[in-house]
Copies of this chain bind each other. A is one copy, B any other.
Amino acid sequence: MRVLVVEDFEVLARTLGTGLRREGMAVDVVLDGDDALERLAVTRYDVVVLDRDVPGTHGDDVCRRIVADRAGSRVLMLTASSTVKDRVEGLGLGADDYLPKPFDFAELVARVRALGRRPTALVPPVLECDDLTLDPARRVASRGGRRLDLSPKEFGVLECLLAAQGRPVSAEDLLERVWDEAADPFTTAVKTTVRRLRTKLGDPPVIHTVREGGYRVGAP
């Protein structure tokens, strides 16, 4: 779990950093609001532990920005003031939790952990065609329920062809999509890979050849 600690009181900041690290989290620490925004622009954090009163951009504004960014970071607000009014305000800003100082470290950890239980990443749809299925996220393909053991290039080519939904894909396109960098146009790589794919896919044939046009999977 990736955590950003925004806290200007150096001793506390360091303590939080090492403490959370000991809990197995990947922790970055910054001492003011401006640095926080900078880090947030670069890296995606699961949880931001945010002192409300930090130099530079105010904690409230940092919080607003995080919420507005919709990057999916959860915010745990940390403050000296602990009136109910403050707490309600903080939560109203979009913070997901609120912990008044002084706090117990074990509780902070528990709350950060609760915030960090991520929703499973959105699954890109599973590609299908007849009895063929391919799951890009899991990197698994199967035909008629039987798992296919595909090499990376084979998998990539099949993925492209399935994604094209019946439209033919030229060798050049495949080269560009599946192979990195611009490979020389006279390569036989695609040809060879498609052949191996066909062998592994078995009968009846799934990959059709479109003369001069490349390869196609499924109805045109």
Query: Nearest Cβ in chain B — how far from A133, in angstroms?
Result: 12
Q: Is A180 touching B118 in the complex (CB atoms < 8 A)?
A: no
Is there a chain B Cβ closer than 8 Å to A172's Cβ?
no
Each complex incorporates copies of this chain amounting to 2
Residues of A within 8 A of B (CB): 1-2, 21-24, 26-28, 43, 72, 74, 84-85, 87-88, 91-92, 94-97, 104, 106-107, 109-111, 113-114, 117-125, 135-140, 151-152, 155-156, 159, 163, 165-168, 176-182, 210-213, 220
A21 contacts across to B, CB distance below 8 A: 152, 180
Q: Contact at A97–B114, with CB atoms within 8 Å?
A: yes
Residues of B contacting A213 with CB < 8 Å?
139, 152
Task: List, sorted by A's number, 21 A–B pairs whose CB atoms are closer than 8 Å.
Answer: A1-B177, A2-B176, A24-B139, A24-B178, A26-B176, A26-B180, A28-B180, A43-B176, A85-B106, A88-B109, A96-B114, A96-B118, A114-B121, A117-B123, A117-B125, A119-B119, A120-B123, A121-B167, A138-B167, A139-B220, A152-B211
- Residues of chain B lying within 8 A (CB to CB) of residue A111: 91
